[in-house]
Amino acid sequence: MDKQIQVQDLTFNLFITETTIQQRVKELGEEIAIQFKDQNPLFIGILNGALIFTADLIRACPIASEVTFMKVQSYAGLQSTGTVTTQIGLQQDIKGRSIILVEDIIDTGATLYHLLPDLQKLAPRSISLVSLLVKPTALKYPLVIDYKGFEIPDKFVIGYGLDYNEQARNLSGIYQLKK
C-alpha cells in the first residue's frame, strides 16, 4: 500500500490501513449482529461514499438482513454545501422495519440530520446510524451515532469509498490530506 499518493492537485498520506479498517468493520458487523438478530434489519447505504463500507459491513454481519441504497449529496469539492438533495430515493416500504443507515463519514452531520425526518415519516420500527468515520469536532447537528468505526480529526480524507472530486473511492486504505 502506497504511503503517499497524489490525486489531481493534492497530496495525501496513508492514514488508516486496509488491515485496520477490515478489523474494525468485522467488530462493527458482529456488534450489529447481536443487536439485530431475528429482526431482519434493512441496511440503507448512502451512496456514493458508503458503497464499499456497506458491502463489507453486511458480509461482516452474520445474520439475516437486507440491503438497499439511497443517494443524497451535500458536498462539492472539499466542503459541505449545507443543503442536501436526494438523487435516488428509497425503492421499498420500510414501515415496521429495523433500519440501519450506513454512512462512510459524518462530518457536519447535515446529511443525516436532514434525511432522518423523511425516513421517520415512513414509520420504521427503528433507525440506527452507523458511520465508518466521524469527525467529532466538525459535527454541527445533534445526531446520535449508534456505531462509529473511527473518530478522526477534522481533516479531509479519501479512499475506501470516500472521494476527492469523484476520484480515489477505489483505494483500499484511507488517506489524509497532507498539509
Q: Are 31 and 62 in contact (CB under 8 A)?
A: no
The residue type of 72 is V
Contacts (CB under 6 A) with ligand IMP, residues 106-135: 106-111
Place of cell 447505504: 45
Find the shortest distance in angstroms from Cβ 39 to ligand IMP. 25
* 157 lies in the site for ligand IMP, by CB under 6 A: yes
- Are 108 and 140 within 8 A, CB to CB? yes
Give least dist CB 55 to ligand IMP, A. Answer: 16
Whose Cβ is closer to Mg ion: residue 51's or residue 63's?
Answer: 51
Which one from 107, 118, 154, 163 is the annotated catalytic residue? 107
Q: Which stretch binds ligand IMP (CB under 6 A): 60-68, 91-99, 119-127, 154-162?
A: 154-162
Site string for ligand IMP, 14-53 (x = CB under 6 A): --------------------------------x--x----
Type of residue numbered 153:
P
Half-sphere exposure of 35 (CA within 13 A, CB side): 17
- Per DSSP, the residues of 125-159 read SEEEEEEEEE-GGG--S----SEEEEE--SS-EEB
Pairing relationship of beta strands 126-134 and 98-106 according to DSSP bridges? parallel
Q: Give me the 46-75 binding string for ligand IMP, x by CB under 6 A, dash otherwise.
A: x--x------------------------xx
CB 138: neighbour CB atoms within 10 A?
16
Selected binder of ligand IMP within 100, 102, 162, 174 (CB under 6 A): 162
Q: First vs last Cα of the chain: how many Å apart? A: 21
Contact positions with Mg ion (CB under 5 A) in 67-126: 104
Contacts with ligand IMP, residue ranges (CB under 6 A): 46, 49, 74-75, 80, 103-111, 156-158, 162-163
